[in-house]
Amino acid sequence: MNIYEILEQLRKKKTPVFTTNEIARISHLKKSCAIVSIKRMVDKGLLFRVAKGIYALEQDPFLNASYIIPNSYISFNAALYLHKAIDQIPSTIHVVVPRRVKKKVEGVTFVSLPKKAFFGFEAIKYRGYSLWIADKEKALIDITYKYGHMPQTIEKINKKKLVRYAKLMELKISEQEAIR
């Protein structure tokens, strides 16, 4: 299978990110041969290296960050940006994960939160793929949980939902604090 046929097979999958082993399996190549094909695709700009052993069809940090670790979701300022609640493009994409992650990915910070924190996120359509992102209120609660203070709130926030989420995370936030 040549690199263009491999690329065609990758595009048929419902994910934009692949490991070396997945590419070997999809292309029916031995891992060593798949590595050579991957290098050729990367050199030609047909595939992008995201992290060691992880490759993407597109060079999009939001898309790639959300598919690196299963059972994770984008949160913090990146989620607020994707919801158009803030205008500034975040320099770091925070991805909430259920366990510690040792992977190093440029522009991505993996934040390990307890199981009780896994609520308040939704799938949105983004460039033909589904991204799991925190809703606006949950992004604010995740920031508060991690850094210990409520960031300045944003417009069009559901204050009751924010307070309810805070209670679920055992944070003490009143509606008055949520209004500031």
Count of structural domains, the chain: 2
Tell me, yes or no, whether 20 and 83 share the same domain. Answer: no
C-alpha 39/C-alpha 66 separation (Å) is 23
Tell me, yes or no, whether 66 and 52 share the same domain. Answer: no
Please give the torsion angle defined by the CA atoms of residues 115, 121, 127 and 129, in that order, rounded to the nearest 10 degrees. 50
Tell me, yes or no, whether 74 and 8 share the same domain. Answer: no
Q: Is the pLDDT of residue 30 over 90?
A: yes
Tell me, yes or no, whether 9 and 89 share the same domain. Answer: no
- Give the structural domain span for 34: 3-56
Tell me, yes or no, whether 94 and 152 share the same domain. Answer: yes
Q: Is the pLDDT of residue 102 over 90?
A: no
- Write phi, then psi, for 138 (nearest 5 degrees): -70, -35
Q: How many percent of the chain have pLDDT more than 90?
A: 76
**What's the confidence (pLDDT) of residue 70?**
87
**Last residue of one domain, picked from the residues 56, 76, 95:** 56
C-alpha 141/C-alpha 134 separation (Å) is 10
C-alpha 39/C-alpha 45 separation (Å) is 10
Tell me, yes or no, whether 51 and 112 share the same domain. Answer: no
Q: What is the pTM of this model?
A: 0.86
**What's the confidence (pLDDT) of residue 151?**
77
Q: What is the mean pLDDT of residues 111-133?
A: 94
Tell me, yes or no, whether 12 and 100 share the same domain. Answer: no
pLDDT digits (tens, 9 = 90+) for 150-179: 777 677 888 899 989 999 998 877 655 555
Q: What is the mean pLDDT of residues 43-50?
A: 96
> Which residues have CB under 8 Å from 139's CB, separation 6+?
75, 76, 77, 79, 80, 83, 133
Tell me, yes or no, whether 69 and 51 share the same domain. Answer: no
Q: What is the CATH number of the domain that holds 40?
A: 1.10.10
- Which among 129, 33, 5, 136 is positioned nearest to 75, based on CA atoms? 136
Greater model confidence, 4 or 178: 4
**Last residue of one domain, picked from the residues 39, 56, 73:** 56
Tell me, yes or no, whether 45 and 82 share the same domain. Answer: no
pLDDT digits (tens, 9 = 90+) for 56-73: 999 999 999 989 998 999
Q: What is the mean pLDDT of residues 87-109?
A: 92
Tell me, yes or no, whether 48 and 101 share the same domain. Answer: no
Average pLDDT, the chain: 91
Tell me, yes or no, whether 34 and 102 share the same domain. Answer: no
Q: At what angle do helices 20-27 and 31-43 cross, to 10 degrees?
A: 100
> Residue 163, CB half-sphere, CA atoms under 13 Å: how many?
10
Tell me, yes or no, whether 39 and 75 share the same domain. Answer: no
